[in-house]
Amino acid sequence: MSEISWPWQYNFPPFFTIQPHSETRAKQLEAWQHLIADYLKTTKQSTIDIREAQNSPLFNNQSINRKLSQESILVVLEYMGKMGQAAPLDKSKNVWEVYWHSLDEWGNMVYSWASSNGMNNSVCTLFELREGENTVDEEFHGLDMTILIKALKTLEAKGKCELMEFDDNQGVKFF
């Protein structure tokens, strides 16, 4: 696992309290958005459970004895949701799926890989995409299956692929 590169704000105590001034708050939410995306990308995670998040070093800086409250984490995730980088997985908004790339960007990465590897008009399994030897150097290798399927659905909506199921397996045909 790569080392986390903490931004300067992470060691600035007010960063862990949502700021009331609108311009300051906007910059703070943007900084949290980048930090969360970078952290999850580095740790290869894609979900945040607000009820457990305060135990994570992401929201709990023990060196300055500060942690972001659950309410503040929700504010940040709702902001990320408006930016298309997060979505709640339950009605109570406790568990969130977070995208360090938008679903469109993920879809475009997969499609670019498929095109450059001669996969057009052929079928490959989702297992091959996520865990296959041919994708080891790709950023989408190991991507959460739910996010991969959502990204492929964005491609399907554009007519660039078709998702299919066969013999208890899922696959995709690229066009």
Residue 108 has pLDDT above 70, yes or no: yes
- Which pLDDT value is given to residue 103? 86
Residues forming beta bridges with residue 97, ordered by sequence position: 47, 87
Residue 1 has pLDDT above 70, yes or no: no
- Which pLDDT value is given to residue 20? 94
pLDDT of 33-88, one tens digit each?
A: 999 999 998 888 899 999 999 899 999 999 999 999 999 999 999 999 999 889 99
pLDDT of 91-103, one tens digit each?
A: 999 999 998 888 8
Taking the C-alpha atoms of residue 48 and residue 96, their distance in angstroms, rounded to an integer, is 5
Burial class (CB in 10 A: 0-12, 13-18, 19+), 94: middle
The contacts of residue 74 (CB under 8 Å, 6+ apart) are 50, 93
Residue 2 has pLDDT above 70, yes or no: no
pLDDT of 116-172, one tens digit each?
A: 998 889 889 999 999 999 899 998 998 888 899 999 999 999 999 999 987 778 899
The beta-strand segments (E) located in 70-160 are 86-88, 95-98, 123-125
Taking the C-alpha atoms of residue 149 and residue 81, their distance in angstroms, rounded to an integer, is 18
Report all structural domains of the chain as residue ranges with CATH numbers, in order of start. Answer: 8-98 (1.10.10.570), 103-174 (1.10.10.10)
Residue 84 phi/psi, 5-degree rounding, is 80, 20
- Model confidence band, residue 29 (pLDDT cutoffs 50, 70, 90): very high
Cβ count near 92 (within 10 Å): 9
